[in-house]
Structure 1
Amino acid sequence: MASPPPPPPPSSDDPVAIVTGATPSPAQLHPHPNPLLPSSPPHPNPLPSSPPPLLPPYPTNPQLTHPTPNHQSGIGLALARTLLTPRHGHTTHRVALVGRRTDVGTALARSLDPSGGTRARFFAADVASYASQAAMFRAVREAFGRVDVLVANAGETDRGSVYGLLDGEEDAQEGEDGGEVVVPPEPDLGATDVCYKGVVYGVLLAARFMRGNDAGEGGVRGRVVVTGSVGAFHPHPVVPEYCGAKAAVVAFVRGVAGVMWAKHRVVVNVVHPGLVSTPIVPEEMIRAVPEGCPTPMETVLEGFRIYLEDETGRTGEQMEASGTNIVYYDRPAYANGIATEGATTVWEPWFVMGHGEESGLSGTYR
C-alpha cells in the first residue's frame, strides 16, 4: 500500500480552501439518546478526544483521479486530503480545516501537514453562528493571506422528532377525549441552523473575502461548493428537518448564484451525495440498504473535483454524486408558463430597494 506523495512546499500563490465539517461533532460521534435511533450503538471507530496518531496511508484507485480515504473520516476530511494531494496539471491547495472539536481538529491538521501548519491548519468555528464564521474567515485570511474556496460541508441531522409521537399515548388520548391537549416541547432545529443558516452565512462571507482575488481563467475569483443531499430532492421521512434544510439550500443557491457571479465573480454550486459511510450514518443502515445504494467516497470526491477545477464560470448547479455516477439536476420548468416565470423574475426597483443597487442580471423587468 503506497503512501500519498508529500505535499510540495507551500507558496503564497497557492489557493486557500476552507473546508467546514472537517471534524465530526461530539453529537455525531457520541449522540445523546435519540428516539429516532433507539438501538443505534456508538460508532464502531469514534475519533478519540485525545489527539490521534498520524493518519494511516490510504490506497489509490487507478480508475480515479483521487486518493481513496478511510471511509470513517467523513466527507470533509476526505476533501481536505484530496485538496492537499498533488495532481497532474492542477494546483495543490493550502487547507483550513474547520470544526468544533479543537483537540481532534488540531491533531488531524498536524497529521495532514507534519510541516507545522504551512499547508493545513485547524480553525475552530461553529458555522451556525455568524460571528463565529466571520471570525474564522478573518483568521484564515490572516494565517494564509487569502481565501479562494469554501467547501460548506458542515452538517447535522435531526436532533428530535417533528411527528409528535414521543409524548406517550396518554398525551394523545387527553386531546382525543376533549381534555387538555399537551403541547409538545419546542423542537431543537439545530439541523436547520447548521445545514441552512450556516450555508447562507458562508456564502455571504465567502463573497466578501474572495471578490478581491485576481481573476483566474474564465474570470473566476472564488468558488463555493456546498454539500447537499439526495434528500433535498427525495426527502427521507426519518430526517425531515435535515432534508428540508438541504432543500432550502437548493433554492438559496439557485437564487443567489447569478448575482454572486455578476457582482463578485464567485461561483456557487452544490454536490448532493448519496448514502456514504461516514460517522453520521449508522453502520447498520449501510448494511440494510440494497446493493448498489451505498456511495463510494471516490464518487463524492469526483463531484467536488468537477466544480473545484472548473474554469468556465458554471454556477447555480445541482449535482448528485451517488453510487458510481454523477447526475445533474436541471432547473424545473415554469409549470404555468409566463405566470410562473414572471413571478420569479427580478424587477430591478425591488432589487435596488432590498440590496442597494441593480442586480447585474440579464432579462430583468424595469
Structure 2
Amino acid sequence: MAVKQTKTAVVTGGVSGIGYGLVQSLLSKSNWRVVIADIRPEAYNAISSTLDPERHLFVATNVASWDEQAALFKKAFEWSGGRLDFFAANAGMAESDHITQGNFSQGWDLDGEPPKPNLTTIEVNEIAVFYGLRLFVHYARKTNVALKAASGSSPAPFNPKVVITASCAGIYPFPLAPAYNSSKHGVVALTRSVGKPLLASDNIAVNCIMPGYVDTGLIPNQVTALWPKHYITPISTMVRAYEELISEDGAVAQDGKSDGPNGVVKAGQSVECVVEKLFYRHPVPYADESQEFLIEQTFLPDGVWVRGMQAALGAAATAAKA
C-alpha cells in the first residue's frame, strides 16, 4: 500500500463559517496540515484550542493586500517544508453600506457631489483571489520542481488544487448588493477561464463553489431568523463540494446528491451548493457557430488568437528596430 504524502493547504477566511468547516474537515485527516489566514486574530484565538496545534499555522492576513498575501504564501511554503498542495480562496465580505458600495436604486444628496463608491467588496472578493491564485501557481511550480529533483525519474504524485468561494450570486442577479454580485460573477469567470489551461500546463485544478444561503455570520442574524429553515444550506454541503473538487481521482459518491461526473478530475467547474445538493453548472450555450469559434479558440495554444497576437507582437518589435 502506498504511503500517503503529507499535504499542506492554505485556507483564507479560515476562522469561521465555510472556511472553518473546511479547516476542521482537512485536519480530521491525518495527512493534511493547514495554514489558516484571516484578518481577525481575535476570531482565531476563539477557535484555536479546537485545532491540532502541530498541524496548523495561523497567519493574520488582509487578503486585499498583495504584500500581505505574498508574505502569507512565503511563510506557508517555508512552514510546510516546501510543499503547497491546496489553496482555498475563501476569504470574502458582504456589502454593509449599499449606498456607497453601488446600490444605484438608493438615493443620495443631489445638492452635493455624487459619493464615490466604496469598492472594498470587489477588492476582497475578486482582486484578492487573483493575487492568491498567482501566488499559489508560483509556489505550486516551485513544489513541483523540488519534488522532481528529489525523486529523480520517479517523482512523487503532485496534484495541486484551487477552490474559490464564489456564490450563487455569481450566476444570478442580486440587486441588493451589486458590488458583491459582480465580484462573484468575476471569480466564476476566472475559474472557467483558467481551469482547463492551468490543468494542461501545470496540472493545477482550479474550481469554485457557489453556496446558496449559508448562516456564516456575514449576513445579519435578523435576516437568518426570517429565512425558511429548509432553505438554509449547511456547511457540510460545502465540505462535500470541496472533497469532490480536490479528489485526485474525481470520486463522487453515488447517492443522488451531486450531479458531478464520477471518476473525472474536476477543473474549471463551478458547483452550486444548495441545501444538501451539488449542481455542476455550465456556461450559457453558444449563440451560434461563430461565437463557439470565438471562445473555443482562446483555449488553444496554437489557435488564431495566440497566432495573431504573436504576429502582432513580432510586427511591433520589427517596427521598433526600424
- Which of 349, 354, 360 is the equivalent residue of 2:307? 349
- Which of 105, 108, 112 is the equivalent residue of 2:51? 112
Which position in structure 1 is the counterpart of 2:219? Answer: 281
Residue identity in the other structure for 1:18: V
Q: Distance in 1 between matches of 2:80 and 2:274?
A: 34
Which position in structure 1 is the counterpart of 2:116? Answer: 186
- Which of 119, 132, 135 is the equivalent residue of 1:205? 135
Q: Distance in 1 between matches of 2:87 and 2:59?
A: 13
**Partner secondary structure for residue 231 of structure 2:** coil
CA contact (8 A) 1:276 1:294 kept: yes
Structure 2 gaps, min length 5:
149-153, 250-263, 299-304, 314-322
Which position in structure 2 is the counterpart of 1:327? Answer: 279
Higher relative contact order (CA 8 A, sep 6+): 1
CA contact (8 A) 2:122 2:180 kept: yes
Which position in structure 1 is the counterpart of 2:13? Answer: 21
How many Å apart are 1:259 and its aligned residue? 1.6
Which position in structure 1 is the counterpart of 2:253? Answer: none
- Which of 99, 103, 107 is the equivalent residue of 1:163? 103
CA contact (8 A) 1:296 1:324 kept: yes
How many Å apart are 1:164 and its aligned residue? 4.6
Which position in structure 1 is the counterpart of 2:256? Answer: none
Structure 1 gaps, min length 5:
1-10, 24-72, 175-181, 356-366
CA contact (8 A) 1:261 1:267 kept: yes
Report Cα offsets for 1:98-142 as digits up to 9, x if no partner.
0112343255345302xx4x2011012111112211111000011
CA contact (8 A) 1:159 1:189 kept: no
TM-aligned CA distance change 1:352 to 1:280, over 3 Å: farther
Residue identity in the other structure for 1:208: H
CA contact (8 A) 1:159 1:188 kept: no
Structure 1 stretches of 4+ with a deviation exceeding 6 A read: none
The alignment of Structure 1 onto Structure 2 pairs a total of residues equal to 279
Is residue 317 of structure 1 aligned with residue 274 of structure 2? Answer: no
**Partner secondary structure for residue 292 of structure 1:** helix
- Which of 17, 39, 43 is the equivalent residue of 1:100? 39
CA contact (8 A) 1:19 1:152 kept: yes
Is residue 124 of structure 1 aligned with residue 75 of structure 2? Answer: no
Q: Distance in 2 between matches of 1:166 and 1:295?
A: 30
Report Cα offsets for 1:139-165 as digits up to 9, x if no partner.
001111111100000001124322356
Is residue 147 of structure 1 aligned with residue 84 of structure 2? Answer: yes
How many Å apart are 1:185 and its aligned residue? 1.5
What is the TM-score of this pair, normalised by structure 2? 0.78
More helix by share: 2
Report Cα offsets for 1:33-63 as digits up to 9, x if no partner.
xxxxxxxxxxxxxxxxxxxxxxxxxxxxxxx
Query: After superposition, where does 1:249-268 map in structure 2 within 5 Å?
Result: 249-268=187-206
Range that drifts further, 273-282 or 305-314: 305-314
Q: Distance in 2 between matches of 1:128 and 1:245?
A: 13
TM-aligned CA distance change 1:228 to 1:351, over 3 Å: farther
CA contact (8 A) 2:159 2:248 kept: no
How many Å apart are 1:84 and its aligned residue? 0.2
CA-atom RMSD in angstroms: 2.9
Q: Distance in 1 between matches of 2:308 and 2:158?
A: 28
TM-aligned CA distance change 1:135 to 1:12, over 3 Å: farther
How many Å apart are 1:246 and its aligned residue? 0.5
CA contact (8 A) 1:220 1:266 kept: no
- Which of 257, 264, 272 is the equivalent residue of 2:210? 272
Q: Distance in 2 between matches of 1:163 and 1:96?
A: 36
Residue identity in the other structure for 2:131: Y
Which position in structure 2 is the counterpart of 1:36? Answer: none
CA contact (8 A) 2:162 2:205 kept: yes
Report Cα offsets for 1:295-318 as digits up to 9, x if no partner.
111111111111122434320001
Is residue 79 of structure 1 aligned with residue 22 of structure 2? Answer: yes
Q: Distance in 1 between matches of 2:183 and 2:106?
A: 22
CA contact (8 A) 1:220 1:267 kept: no
TM-aligned CA distance change 1:191 to 1:339, over 3 Å: same
Q: Distance in 1 between matches of 2:311 and 2:221?
A: 50
Q: What is the percent sequence identity of the aligned residues?
A: 29
Residue identity in the other structure for 1:122: F
How many Å apart are 1:220 and its aligned residue? 5.3
Q: Distance in 2 between matches of 1:156 and 1:164?
A: 19
CA contact (8 A) 1:253 1:268 kept: yes
How many Å apart are 1:283 and its aligned residue? 1.9
Q: Distance in 2 between matches of 1:314 and 1:321?
A: 16
TM-aligned CA distance change 1:167 to 1:243, over 3 Å: closer
How many Å apart are 1:287 and its aligned residue? 2.5
CA contact (8 A) 1:250 1:318 kept: yes
Q: Distance in 1 between matches of 2:59 and 2:104?
A: 38
Which position in structure 2 is the counterpart of 1:34? Answer: none
**Partner secondary structure for residue 332 of structure 1:** coil
